[in-house]
Structure 1
Amino acid sequence: MTFGFAPPATTSSAVVTGGASRHGRLLEPSEWTAAGIPLLRNPREVVSGLHSRHSPVPSTAVIAVLGPEERLVASASFVQRAASVDGWEYRNALLARLRRVLPHDLRRRTPVRTAVLLYCRDGDERWTEEDGAWMWGLRDACTLHGLRCGAYITLTRGGWQVLGEGRVGRRPSSDSQPARIGEIVTDPTPLTLRTGGGAAEALRRTAAR
């Protein structure tokens, strides 16, 4: 699987060595894929639903918790303008919102609900250090709240992308007007799976579960 790289949208350059920032609190796409993040059954429906509910603009993060059959349990959105790309800061912001919208599941032996993160930002679909910090923050926030770590999705002018999977769509985008809740958002472009080593292996792991 091939990923492009771009500088972070909100900060000056940060040093990356061996897949980690100077704080060690970011994940690269290969690390994210290797973590076995569960695939969304219908990413377009999830993205469209969150876009309709929260109308995100650049710098808006939408954290959502899904139950069985990808039923939305709770969600919250907020604008995050950080002075530095640091997954620890993003983790704290996500955890604070999760605690506001639903009780933790720490007493369960295994997680039964999944948290996904939609982040609306400027730039193109290429992975950035900011994305890596959000990935780290989502994974850690899920652990601390007793949730399964789910997909990380970016929303840009070009559309949406599930990072680490290669599934993309043109609508909605960061420029789209939100559809009404329950309205079906059609996309003339078929859902694309950019196959590669990481994505194919992730699909095989999911099929085997």
Structure 2
Amino acid sequence: MTFGFAPPSHSEVPPGLGRSLEPAGWASSGIPLLRGPREVVVGLHARHRPGPATSVVAVLGPDDRIVASASFARPAAGSDGWECRNVLLSQLRRIVPHDLRRRRPARTAVLLTCRDDSPGWTEEDGAWMWGLRDACTLHGLRCGAYITLTRTGWQVLGEDRSGRRPRLGPTDRSVRGDAAPPVSGAPGRAAVR
């Protein structure tokens, strides 16, 4: 006699156990629009000069200005949304204290992902979108935009906003895995508090 549940067969379990979001699901989940996506992308690109296979997580204040950010090398392709969430949580914990005591989130986290392939949505993007949304909930932040940066330019996935510059270029260096030093008074940056 066997007690408990029989493990489901692989055909019954979707890849990533549902820890992935498609652009339509992302767009319908109420992600707030960035007031100036180009300024955010330009600011993050200037701070981190990310290369392929690099991501930059940033926290924006209520005025959509960058409060803190960190760049990191993404794990190998095929990552699950759970792994993506854990990577993002560790980066967020390095750069800002949590906002779990607030009634409503005052700050927003956004993710910029750099890659050498096409600018459209991929399954890996779906895992990172799920991870960003879940990490924001666990850190007390509002979930913000998911942005891809390729050789053709940048694109806010789930929205129809994109641009040709900045873009991933041959001069962009590889990731160091560092948090950007806070700079007071510079446009698009504020001191980390």
Give me the TM-score of the superposition, normalised by structure 2. 0.80
Residue 56 of structure 2 contacts residue 112 of structure 2 at CA under 8 Å; is this kept in 1?
yes
* Cα offset, 1:141, TM superposition: 0.4
**Cα separation, 2, equivalents of 1:165 and 1:176:** 27
* Cα offset, 1:122, TM superposition: 1.6
Counterpart in the other structure of 2:58: 64
1:90-112 Cα offsets, whole Å, 9 max, x none, are 11000001001111000111100
Structure 2: which amino acid aligns with 1:75? S
* Matched pairs, number: 166
Structure 2: which amino acid aligns with 1:119? T
**Cα separation, 1, equivalents of 2:155 and 2:171:** 18
Alignment of 1:138-157 (within 5 A): 138-157=132-151
Alignment of 1:1-209 (within 5 A): 21-82=15-76, 84-175=78-169, 177=171
> 2:18 aligns to what SS in structure 1?
coil
Residue 16 of structure 2 contacts residue 80 of structure 2 at CA under 8 Å; is this kept in 1?
no
* Cα offset, 1:177, TM superposition: 4.9
Residue 109 of structure 2 contacts residue 136 of structure 2 at CA under 8 Å; is this kept in 1?
yes
**Cα separation, 1, equivalents of 2:55 and 2:135:** 14
Over 3 Å counting, the alpha-carbon distance change for 1:163 and 1:107 in structure 2 is same
**Ranges in structure 2 where 5+ consecutive residues have no aligned partner:** 1-9, 173-182, 188-193
Q: Choose 1 or 2 for highest CA Rg.
A: 2
> 1:127 aligns to what SS in structure 2?
coil
Counterpart in the other structure of 1:201: none
Residue 85 of structure 1 contacts residue 129 of structure 1 at CA under 8 Å; is this kept in 2?
no
1:42-68 Cα offsets, whole Å, 9 max, x none, are 110000000000111111110000002
**Cα separation, 1, equivalents of 2:97 and 2:23:** 30
**Cα separation, 1, equivalents of 2:141 and 2:34:** 15
Structure 2: which amino acid aligns with 1:173? R
**Structural RMSD (CA):** 2.3
**Cα separation, 2, equivalents of 1:99 and 1:176:** 31
**Cα separation, 2, equivalents of 1:111 and 1:177:** 37
Over 3 Å counting, the alpha-carbon distance change for 1:120 and 1:75 in structure 2 is same
What fraction of aligned residue pairs are identical, expressed as a percent? 68
Runs of 4+ in structure 1 deviating by more than 4 angstroms, as ranges, are: none
* Cα offset, 1:81, TM superposition: 2.6
